[in-house]
A = this chain, B = another copy of it.
């Protein structure tokens, strides 16, 4: 990798998951006009109904996308981590259909809408990788529908923890069996379609069963395969190349 310190390095890293790119393509990506923006926890990047003029790439930290019902009910519809593009969809669709909010302190590389679109169409390989990224987001969304629609609270949470583990690992932002999850129980509840109170109880039960310990904002998975089996988690839908999958036998070690 050319410039590990370049703000767009995480994007390159991410795109490389879908195959190697030529040096020219990599340079074109790094040459995107951009500036870094630092966000505190809980700041909005885009709000529903806005017409964003910029997209951004997460350099470090996490963002959540969420929707709100008229009665105030909130549902988190996806979580983004390093290398993830925020608002590629909203940029192309011209009007944002959901909110994007920083989950933790976050660093984002802001890129003008047109520059991204131009890149995508001038460099087919990059365009294809970006398209793949949006397709994978779609795949994850479908799995969330399955998770929320058809699994009980304990397996829902187990599945969620597994997904997070695998994605973190793939993105090189943490270990698969022990990681920081900067979410409150209430936010966790909004992600899996439960209430905060119930998440609390289920978390306690999962801990007592020895499947996941979640203390404060950190998650420790004793046995990733066991948790995956329990939560009916099959990572295929993440479309990760095999070299980006965590080695499950590492899960036993601490």
Assembled-state Cα–Cα distance A71/B146 (Å): 13
Which A218-235 residues have C-beta < 8 A from chain B?
A: 232
Distance to closest chain B CB from A154 (angstroms):
14
CA gap between A95 and B132 in the complex, in Å: 12
Instruction: Flag if A143 contacts B95 (CB, 8 Å).
Output: no
CB of A239 closer than 8 Å to a CB of B: yes
Q: Are B148 and A67 in contact (CB under 8 A)?
A: no
> Which residues of B have CB within 8 Å of A77?
142, 145-146
Are A134 and B136 in touch, CB under 8 angstroms?
no
The answer to whether A67 and B143 touch (CB under 8 A), given A149-B75, A193-B148, is: yes
* Contact for A135 among B67, B70, B134, CB less than 8 A: B134
CB contact under 8 A between A135 and B49, given known A142-B141, A148-B145? no
A33 at the interface (CB under 8 A from B): no
Question: Which residues of B sit under 8 angstroms from A69, Cβ to Cβ?
Answer: 146, 150-151, 232
The complex places the Cα of A97 from the Cα of B234 at a distance, in Å, of 10
Cβ contact within 8 Å between A236 and B95: yes
A98 to B237, CA, bound (A): 8
B-contact bits for A24-56, CB 8 A (1 contact / 0 none): 000000000000000000000000110000000
Closest chain B CB from A71 CB (angstroms): 8
Chain A residues 97 to 120 lying within 8 A of chain B, measured CB to CB, are: 97-98
Residue of B nearest to A125 (CB): B121
Contact B97 A146 (CB under 8 A): no
Provide the bound-state CA to CA distance between A209 and B65, in Å: 34
Smallest CB gap from A94: residue in B: B239
Q: Are A139 and B89 in contact (CB under 8 A)?
A: yes
Q: Is B139 a contact of A93 with CB atoms below 8 Å?
A: yes
Min C-beta distance of A118 to chain B, whole Å: 10
Which residue of the partner chain B has the closest CB to A66? B146
Q: Which residues of B contact A138 (CB under 8 A)?
A: 89, 134, 137-138, 141
A127 interface hit (Cβ, 8 Å): yes
Known: A70-B232, A128-B121, A150-B74. A136 touches B93 (CB 8 A): yes
